[in-house]
Chain A
Amino acid sequence: MQIHLGGHLHYFDVEKRNHIQLEIAGRKRLQDVCLELGVPPAEVALAVINGNIVDIQEAVVENPDRVELFSPLGGG
């Protein structure tokens, strides 16, 4: 599974990675994947799985999903 930590979410990853390759066993709640990466779900303003916007509280992921997570997209 490919995970993109967009906006400031990579701040929470120990290695400060923007892109992460991750293998998971079976299906997992997206929220749990975030927590395992150290990303607080409350900081995820936009979650996209394989190009579709999803609700992070309900979404489930599996290999080889492409997951994009973004913090609030502010102005500037």
Chain B
Amino acid sequence: MMTLERPLTKNIKPNTPPMGLHAYQAAGGYEAVRQTLGRVAPADLVEMVIQSGLGGRGGGGFSAGRKWQLMPDPKADPGPRYLVINADEMEPGTFKDRLLLEGDPHQMIEGIILSAYAIQADISYIFVRGEYGTAITRLESAIGAARDAGLLGRNILGSSYDLEIHVHGGAGRYICGEETALLNSLEGRRAVPRAKPPFPQISGLWGRPTVVNNVETICNIPHIVLRGVDWYKSLGLDGESGTKIYGVSGRVKSPGTFELPMGTTLNDLIEHAGGMREGYQLRAVLPGGASTAFLLDDQLDIPLSFAGVAKAGSRLGTGTAIILDDRTCPVGMLHNLQHFFAQESCGWCAPCRDGLPWVERILAKIESGQGEMSDLALLDDIAGTLGPGRTFCALAPGAMASLVSGLTYFRAEFEQHIHTKSCGWT
């Protein structure tokens, strides 16, 4: 088996502080910036990213380059433009961005410089989940070092391009992961999503053109610039480009994050995590965090690519799999997940605000042995009315993805709870 290339994590060593500026530069860091700023036209950089096939790593999978392309021409609309990095990683089971932020903050900064240059943004905000204190400290220290080295600030490396990066710690709301709610929060407003259209590229932060990208997406950019589109495309499997930082949690031998080719199968991923722990059987997998539908143990050969997982009826999401084993109560797990979503609903739209707590309460009832068979039909019905389009943003439809598939796959367990009037799992 050939050695896998791991461009995103090559500088990261477990339990070791991240590389400082000199070590990072010695390892080839900021070379992409030197080769690009003032030398490559921003539009060419955008085109390169489109060609690379890089899809948004926050879970959408939409072409990063195409997202950039929607920014208006700065000549037609002069004024501030923003690149906002969504590092509000709060999806249950997801911890891939933390690895990148804590493990290699300069890679993040280099990615931001290149991406901001591509969209002609002059200010960038990194919106970091508030609990990621280490990441915030390391980012701020790295930004200081980069500014001292002339890699940030005015007239970067003599290219006449200016960029400032600000780190903003979130106050702990899942909804801030939704890009427009994030922008509201950044402006000091209540974190509720905004209506789209207008999209952030047209009217984003403070009404100015703004691109919001995920941490991992942006960390790919220096490598694409430095090593080329063909190389980047060759990294992926199943027709996809690049690598992906996958995660595994649940009762596997070594849970954690793994940088693997995009499109690696679920089987291979679990193998990287050491397989299931002794005495546990895999029952089902949430492939990309709590907002994706379950995959069953007969679907482990599907490629973990955006298209591959979609074909199997779920979503790749953040690519961080949560494993459900045979000794964990699926009803309890679903109740736990719905508790999270009900609590994290921002309260803006009626179905999500009032519907999710209802779902949670019915699940709590069933889990505690007080459910009735009619509750299952009711859950089916409510789940349908919290689907896409019914709510303002994707939070409730995401919450329903795991519930709907769980209601189908674990029907027997639900009915058992109801008939025996108890959970029965220890």
Partners in one complex: no
